Amino acid sequence: MHVAIIGNGISGVTAARWVRKLSDHKVTIISSETDHFFSRTALMYVYMGHMRFEDIKPYEDWFWEKNRIDLVTDRVESIEYTDKSLKMKSGNDISYDKLILAVGSTPNKFGWPGQDLKGVGGLYHVQDLERMEEYSPNLKKAVVVGGGLIGIEMAEMFVSRGISVTMLVREPSYWSGVLPPEESKMISEHILHHDIDLRLGVNLGEIHDDGSGKACAVTVKETGERIECGFVGLTAGVSPNIGFLRDTGLDIGRGIKVNDHLETNQPDVYAIGDCAELTNPKPGRRGVEAIWYTGRMMGETCAYNICGKQVAYDPGLWFNSAKFVDIEYQVYGSAPAQMPDDMASLYWQHEDGEKSVRINYDKNSKEILGFNLFGVRYRHKVCEKWILEKTHVEDVLKNLGMANFDPEFYKEYEPDIIALYNKQEGTNITLKTRRGLDKVLAFLNR
Amino acid sequence: MKLLQTIGSILVILSILIFIGMLGLGTKSINLDALPGNNTHQTAAISQAINELDAKGKEVNHIGFVSLASEVIDKANEIQEAKFQQSGAPDGVGEWDFRFGGNVGGFKQKLSSTAKATGPVQSNPWLFFFLTFGLAIIGGLLFIIPKFAKSPGIKHDGIYHSSLTSGLKLTPRTIVLAAGIIGTLIYGFVKLNNFFWPLVTTVIGVLFIYFVFIKEKSKGKDPQRSASPVNTAWLGMLAGALLVGFYILLYWKPEYIQNWVSMVDPISEMLNGGKASRWFLYGLLYTIIMAVMGIRMLAKYQHNKYQRVRTYSVMFFQTAFAFLIPQMISKLNATNAYDNPIPAPDLKNMWPLDYSFFFNYRLDEMVANGSIGIFMLVWGIVLFVIGVPVFVYFYGKRWYCSWVCGCGGLAETMGDPWRQLSDKSLRAWQFERYIIHGVMVAAVLMTIGVLYTYFTGSYSILGINTDSLKSWYGFFIGAGFAGIVGTGFYPLMGNRTWCRFGCPLAGYLGLIQKFKSKFRITTNGGQCISCGNCSTYCEMGIDVRSYAQKGQDIVRSSCVGCGVCSAVCPRGVLRLENGSGDVATRTIEERTIHITEDMIYVKQDFS
């Protein structure tokens, strides 16, 4: 059996690796972006000079041959679902028995005037990075449009090269659609502290042409202010990369529609990762979740299904992570921007404005619901187990040291957090378990 | 801020130029009070040669003096040989105490480096100390102090854009490395006048290459990730050349660096009451570089207390245990032997890194020095017999390698800008395992031979000359590998080249860490994004990411526990931990990365 995979990102590659682990099927990965898999989330570090492109490739180049995973650098022009073949740009068409679509996303463009000028681009593909490199020499000023995770990454990249940055963010506070107000405020201030000119509550009006087809300035929609710049970064989110699949008989909504087994409406065609849209997402989850971790889980699940082991996709408890310049971010479970009525929240913030811990729990039952962490590291498995076991918030607090994943010698803030809870709830609980591995192992293996 | 840093850089460059240039200042003449003969017969021959050549009181420049010394010893050798041919050695004098024999080169070097130097350096040692050490310290601090004003966080911007830190392509890197190794082998053959050991070493080297390429099937698996894609690191190469040059002079050509030694005479007199030796110079330079570059680490890791505490620790152990306390012991004992081939005993160094610990002259010295000497002997043995296993069990080898050790300390301070250049390929790991364990075996065999000779008086064991084995180990591993390649190649192969590929003590610590230790690096559930920062900044070349992305704990014998992988991780995935709950099972690979209980059930059903 031949399993063809379009896309060599984390989803496609994870699927390929698991098909190889579970079977002897022939596996081919097709990509027009790069010859080899690389960590998309690490592109920023190449630009900043922290790593070379070679370093963000998780496997050495001989890995693929050793594991009998064929790599094809080519572009799929169209898919023939009935005779199960891929029409390739090079003309070397490929036939498949099972097809996995892992074609990722593309940066959003909302029809802004000038959005297709030279010196305008998002940050998703290697080619986007190359564009940024191309325009960076002698660049004095860049404007970044959009206040999500990519926006702040792009701003940090330019700042690392001494290029000044203005960020135009639609929301009244940085990433306030996702972060609760306190955290959003803290990160907004952190961004300003790094000399990034963060403009909140504004939209991009238009991008101006310098006469040669290249961007030279933007106009802010609300104020009409014109900002001269040599590069415009469009980072207002991403959408499934489904342009070439529209009207081909594939069921498409926002993304490629898939069932619980990640199957599309076409026989033997699966879709995973950023480009897939689950028809029945789990409660509290979205149909399209364009994040690294879900891509990886989908790749694994898809491989099981292809290898005859039926298993429904279940991303488990929500988690995610990011880094905002110098502040690390981790979230486990439920930490919504808008607090539901039945959710109570314990929010502790360090006076340095670079660390915070939010612990959400049910107002009535006091069951733990989620953790939102900035500048403090918590253990994924401990937090997950507490949440899945519906642990009482006070039991969590008493043992909070088990969750602490900060390096040795770091100050432990658990007593401060408990003191805050005692103050808030009028209780008198104390910390029983401090940071350390032995207690954690005992707890996780219980 | 930028201006201060520019001034700082200029001062450092200036100090390096003066440091090199001062070697040519002034003149030398033969020091009649310190002629290098082993006994009155040899000394008399040298005296006679000096008179015959009319070399007495002759003032010659530093380079010219080396040839003068050479002429004198050749002449003395001629005189002595003539006497020996005529009437043999006098009664009660061994033949080789009478004849100069194969060690003519050693006598030449000794005559050169005991000469009486005069000149501006000798009349103004403090001035030159200020112009070299002083300017370098001031310049370094001017460059470093402004970094404290930056906001805390990872400071790796532009490392791969800098010609100082970006490394070389694989092919030129391999050529430079091969040239270094072959050059050292040839020089060893010439210097020690011994063909056997360079040949044995070459054969072992070829065997290792065979093992890695054929037996481990590394042939054809090109390690693309192991070096820079472009050759840009010309400043790094310059820095490497300076370091290599320094070590060659220090170890093998001390007759040229008398001005450096004279410059630190006053400091030596203050600390231990005696004249400086080149090892005193080296110890002082080492300690000061570690202090200044240690401050750089403190500035770089303002946000990371583990890094700061660790840096304070290596600075403390170098300054106190390796430098000041031994000086004081030396002063109390007043046994500052001239040009002892090792520094005053470094209290934190231990066998087998301190490979000369069991050499006869050191055992004799310790035994002869009463209670302090016996204490040193017992301390040295307890450190590696009890200290290593106990501390490694509880904390991993990091307690030594990245908290105490001097070699490790230099790597973590001066070497930090180059840590990313360690080779992460599988092939490099295969070479590492052969070479480090090979050196470990060599150190043990060499020490057995030396102890055999010490206790039996016989210089031959199974037909092997223990003395030539000892000299070869000291030359090739002690000086060539640990010094020239180990430190000189920082800008080429990363800051832990010696620790990773060569150090026999690291090999020993690593075996315990791998098989019996509570230490490991844990990965945080499924949070890894495979970005590669951890692997890139692992100075030991461990592909940390390959474990982290699988959700597997990291237990590697080479891990020195520097904690930088954890520091640079942008997602908080890695933590250095000690836990006793699962020592036997801590390396088990987690098959799935993130999956719920239900799914595991389903999967187990299928598998």
pLDDT at B344 (0 to 100): 56
Contact of A222 with A199, CB cutoff 8 Å: no
pLDDT above 80 (res A263): yes
Provide the domain limits for residue B111. 27-118
Nearest by Cα to A313 from A336, A295, A330: A295
pLDDT at A153 (0 to 100): 96
Nearest by Cα to B530 from B557, B548, B552: B548
Confidence category of residue B96, pLDDT binned at 50, 70, 90: confident
- Cis preceding linkage at A181, omega within 30: no
pLDDT above 80 (res A64): yes
Mean pLDDT of chain A: 95
pLDDT at B606 (0 to 100): 38
pLDDT at B217 (0 to 100): 86
Tokens found for residue A429: 């609980």
- pLDDT tens sequence across A406-430: 999 999 999 999 999 999 999 999 9
Cα four-point dihedral sign B524, B529, B531, B532:
positive
What distance in Å separates the CA atoms of residue B513 and residue B520, rounded to the nearest whole number?
9
Contact of B398 with B307, CB cutoff 8 Å: no
Contact of B367 with B377, CB cutoff 8 Å: yes
Contact of B518 with A436, CB cutoff 8 Å: no
Contacts 24+ apart (CB under 8 A), A210-216: A212/A118, A213/A117, A213/A118, A214/A117, A214/A118, A214/A119, A215/A114, A215/A117, A215/A118, A215/A119, A215/A120, A216/A119
Tokens found for residue A202: 């504004």
pLDDT at B601 (0 to 100): 44
Q: Contacts of residue B596 in chain A, CB cutoff 8 Å?
A: 314, 316-317, 388
- What is the strand order of the sheet A204-209 is part of? A204-209, A215-220, A226-228
pLDDT at B228 (0 to 100): 65
The count of structural domains within chain B is 1
Q: What percent of chain B has pLDDT over 90?
A: 63
Q: Contacts of residue B531 in chain A, CB cutoff 8 Å?
A: 39, 41-42, 45, 51, 56
Q: Which uninterrupted H or E stretch holds B443?
A: helix B426-456
Task: Tell me the mean pLDDT in the region B5-10.
Answer: 96
Residue that the structure tokens 């239900």 belong to: B598
Contact of A5 with A12, CB cutoff 8 Å: yes
Mean pLDDT of chain B: 88
pLDDT above 50 (res A435): yes
Q: Spell out the alpha helix ranges (H) of B253-353.
A: 258-263, 265-272, 278-300, 305-316, 325-333
Nearest by Cα to B118 from B71, B72, B67, B62: B62
What distance in Å separates the CA atoms of residue A381 and residue A446, rounded to the nearest whole number?
13
Confidence category of residue A391, pLDDT binned at 50, 70, 90: very high
Please tell me which residue of chain A has the smallest CA distance to B549: A58
pLDDT above 90 (res B458): no
Check CB contact of A110 with chain B, cutoff 8 Å.
Answer: no
> Which residues, numbered 225 to 264 in chain B, qualify as contacts with chain A under a Cβ-Cβ cut-off of 8 Å?
225, 228-229
Indicate the residue type of B289: I
φ, ψ of residue A103 to 5 degrees: the values are -95, 5
Nearest by Cα to A314 from A289, A346, A338: A289
Give, as one character, the DSSP assignment of residue B224.
Answer: G
Q: In the 3-class helix/strand/coil scheme, how is B225-280 assigned residue by residue?
A: HHCCCCCCCHHHHHHHHHHHHHHHHHHHCHHHCHHHHHHCHHHHHHHHCCCCCHHH
- pLDDT tens sequence across A230-250: 999 999 999 999 999 999 999
What distance in Å separates the CA atoms of residue A323 and residue B119, rounded to the nearest whole number?
60
pLDDT at B589 (0 to 100): 64
For A312-337, b where at least 16 C-beta lie within 10 A, e where not — what string? ebbbbbbbbbbbbbbbbbbbbbbbbe
pLDDT at A129 (0 to 100): 96
pLDDT above 80 (res B326): yes
- pLDDT tens sequence across B548-601: 998 888 999 999 999 999 999 999 999 999 988 776 666 666 545 544 444 544
What distance in Å separates the CA atoms of residue A337 and residue A356, rounded to the nearest whole number?
15
- A-B Cβ pairs (cutoff 8 Å, strict): 186
CB contact under 8 A, A55 and B536: yes
B589 contacts: CB under 8 Å, gap ≥ 6: B550, B552
**Mutation for testing the A interface, residue in B427, B522, B527, B597 having most A CBs under 10 Å:** B527
CB contact under 8 A, A319 and B305: no
Nearest by Cα to B250 from B117, B339, B143, B125: B339
What distance in Å separates the CA atoms of residue B335 and residue B333, rounded to the nearest whole number?
5
Confidence category of residue B341, pLDDT binned at 50, 70, 90: very low
pLDDT above 50 (res B340): no
CB contact under 8 A, B570 and A388: no
pLDDT at A147 (0 to 100): 85
pLDDT at B55 (0 to 100): 86
- pLDDT tens sequence across B410-456: 999 999 999 999 999 999 999 999 999 999 999 999 999 999 999 99
The closest CB to that of A380, out of B162, B527, B545, belongs to: B527
pLDDT at B596 (0 to 100): 44
**Mutation for testing the B interface, residue in A36, A55, A189 having most B CBs under 10 Å:** A55
Collapsed DSSP state (helix, strand, coil) of residue B340: coil
φ, ψ of residue A269 to 5 degrees: the values are -115, 125
pLDDT at B605 (0 to 100): 39
Confidence category of residue A28, pLDDT binned at 50, 70, 90: very high
- pLDDT tens sequence across A147-171: 889 999 999 999 999 999 999 999 9
pLDDT above 50 (res B339): no
- pLDDT tens sequence across B347-387: 888 999 999 899 988 888 888 877 778 888 899 999 999 99
Task: Tell me the mean pLDDT in the region A194-221.
Answer: 96
Q: Does residue B231 form part of some domain?
A: no
Q: Does residue B75 form part of some domain?
A: yes
What distance in Å separates the CA atoms of residue B308 and residue B297, rounded to the nearest whole number?
7
pLDDT above 70 (res B167): yes
Nearest by Cα to B412 from B499, B505, B541, B524: B499
Q: Does residue B170 form part of some domain?
A: no
Domains of chain A from N-terminus onward: 2-106+239-306 (3.50.50.60), 120-236 (3.50.50.60), 319-444 (3.30.390.30)
- pLDDT tens sequence across B38-58: 788 888 899 999 998 888 888
Task: Tell me the mean pLDDT in the region A116-136.
Answer: 96
What distance in Å separates the CA atoms of residue A268 and residue A271, rounded to the nearest whole number?
10
pLDDT at B460 (0 to 100): 85
Collapsed DSSP state (helix, strand, coil) of residue B117: strand
* Alpha-carbon distances of B214 from A67, A228, B296, rounded to whole Å: 19, 60, 44
Indicate the residue type of B363: L
Task: Tell me the mean pLDDT in the region B203-213.
Answer: 93
pLDDT above 60 (res B335): no
- pLDDT tens sequence across B473-511: 999 999 999 988 889 999 999 999 999 999 999 999 999
The closest CB to that of B532, out of A55, A160, A328, belongs to: A55
pLDDT above 50 (res B336): no
What distance in Å separates the CA atoms of residue B212 and residue B427, rounded to the nearest whole number?
7
CB contact under 8 A, A41 and B536: no
Q: In the 3-class helix/strand/coil scheme, how is chain A assigned residue by residue?
A: CEEEEECCCHHHHHHHHHHHHHCCCEEEEEECCCCCCCCHHHHHHHHCCCCCHHHHCCCCCCHHHHCCEEEEECCEEEEECCCCEEEECCCCCEECCEEEECCCEEECCCCCCCCCCECEECCCCHHHHHHHHHHCCCCCEEEEECCCHHHHHHHHHHHHCCCEEEEEECCCCCCCCCCCHHHHHHHHHHHHHCCCEEEECCCEEEEEECCCCEEEEEEECCCCCEEECCEEEECCCEEECCHHHCCCCCCECCCEEECCCCECCCCCEEECHHHEEECCCCCCCCCCCCCHHHHHHHHHHHHHHHCCCCCCCCCCCCEEEEEECCEEEEEEECCCCCCCCCEEEEEEECCCCCCEEEEEEECCCCEEEEEEEECCCECHHHHHHHHHCCCEHHHHHHCHHHHECCCCCCCCCHHHHHHHHHHHHCCCCCCCCCCCHHHHHHHHCC
* Alpha-carbon distances of B528 from B116, B272, B552, B556, rounded to whole Å: 63, 54, 11, 19
- What is the strand order of the sheet A2-6 is part of? A69-73, A26-31, A2-6, A98-101, A269-271
- pLDDT tens sequence across B532-550: 999 999 999 999 999 999 8
Q: Does residue B477 form part of some domain?
A: no
Check CB contact of A267 with chain B, cutoff 8 Å.
Answer: no
Q: Does residue B582 form part of some domain?
A: no
Q: Contacts of residue B309 in chain A, CB cutoff 8 Å?
A: 409
Confidence category of residue B607, pLDDT binned at 50, 70, 90: very low
Q: Contacts of residue A311 in chain B, CB cutoff 8 Å?
A: 599, 602-603, 606
> Which residues, numbered 304 to 343 in chain B, qualify as contacts with chain A under a Cβ-Cβ cut-off of 8 Å?
304-306, 309
Residue that the structure tokens 């290599």 belong to: B244
Distance from CA of A28 to the nearest CA of B (A): 20
Task: Tell me the mean pLDDT in the region B100-113.
Answer: 84
Confidence category of residue B198, pLDDT binned at 50, 70, 90: very high
Q: At what angle do helices B2-21 and B135-144 cross, to 10 degrees?
A: 160
Altogether, the residues listed in chain A come to a count of: 446
Please tell me which residue of chain B has the smallest CA distance to A49: B158
Q: Does residue B65 form part of some domain?
A: yes
Tokens found for residue B568: 């640079």
Contact of B290 with B410, CB cutoff 8 Å: yes
Contact of B241 with B485, CB cutoff 8 Å: no
What distance in Å separates the CA atoms of residue B516 and residue B512, rounded to the nearest whole number?
5
Contact of A139 with A250, CB cutoff 8 Å: no
Please tell me which residue of chain B has the smallest CA distance to A410: B305
Task: Tell me the mean pLDDT in the region B135-162.
Answer: 94
- What is the strand order of the sheet A85-88 is part of? A76-80, A85-88, A94-95
